[in-house]
């Protein structure tokens, strides 16, 4: 599925750890896509540093357009498994290939977007 941030990016939306409902969407909300596009170098730097320290994990963004908030951090596997089920994390690791995973939690929409870069 094409994403307006990268030619081969993909975005999925999931609701909660205990929910099995996954919605495929073509892109994240524009304010998230814009932030990623404008800050890609710094995001990749945080991601790469996190991988060096933890061997496995993903970048997490907690954001709210209403509050003008965009918090970015690297999550190791243990922290990710507090957000999503271990089986879902294992599936994500296997399906992402060489792509980097960005878990974006939009507080305004009460949604989590999985963005593959």
Chain segment 83-117, per-residue pLDDT in tens: 889 999 999 888 888 899 999 999 999 988 889 88
Average confidence (pLDDT) over 68-88: 92
Looking at residue 44, its pLDDT comes to 95
d(CA 79, CA 15): 17
Q: Are 16 and 114 in contact (CB under 8 A)?
A: no
User: Which pTM does this prediction carry?
Assistant: 0.75
* DSSP H or E stretch at residue 48: helix 40-54
Q: Are 113 and 31 in contact (CB under 8 A)?
A: no
Among the listed residues 29, 86, 85, 92, the one whose alpha carbon sits nearest the alpha carbon of residue 59: 92
Domain segments of the chain as ranges: 10-116
Helix (H, G, I), strand (E, B) or coil at 86: helix
């Amino acid at each position: 599925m094409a994403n307006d941030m990268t030619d081969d990016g993909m975005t999925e939306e999931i609701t909660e750890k205990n929910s099995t409902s996954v919605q495929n969407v073509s892109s994240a909300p524009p304010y998230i896509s814009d932030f990623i596009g404008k800050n890609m170098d710094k995001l990749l730097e945080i991601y790469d540093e996190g991988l060096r320290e933890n061997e496995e994990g993903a970048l997490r963004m907690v954001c709210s357009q209403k509050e003008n908030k965009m918090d970015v951090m690297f999550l190791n596997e243990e922290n990710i498994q507090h957000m999503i089920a271990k089986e879902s994390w294992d599936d994500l690791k296997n399906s992402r290939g060489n792509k980097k995973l960005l878990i974006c939690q939009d507080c305004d929409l009460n949604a989590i977007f999985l963005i593959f870069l």
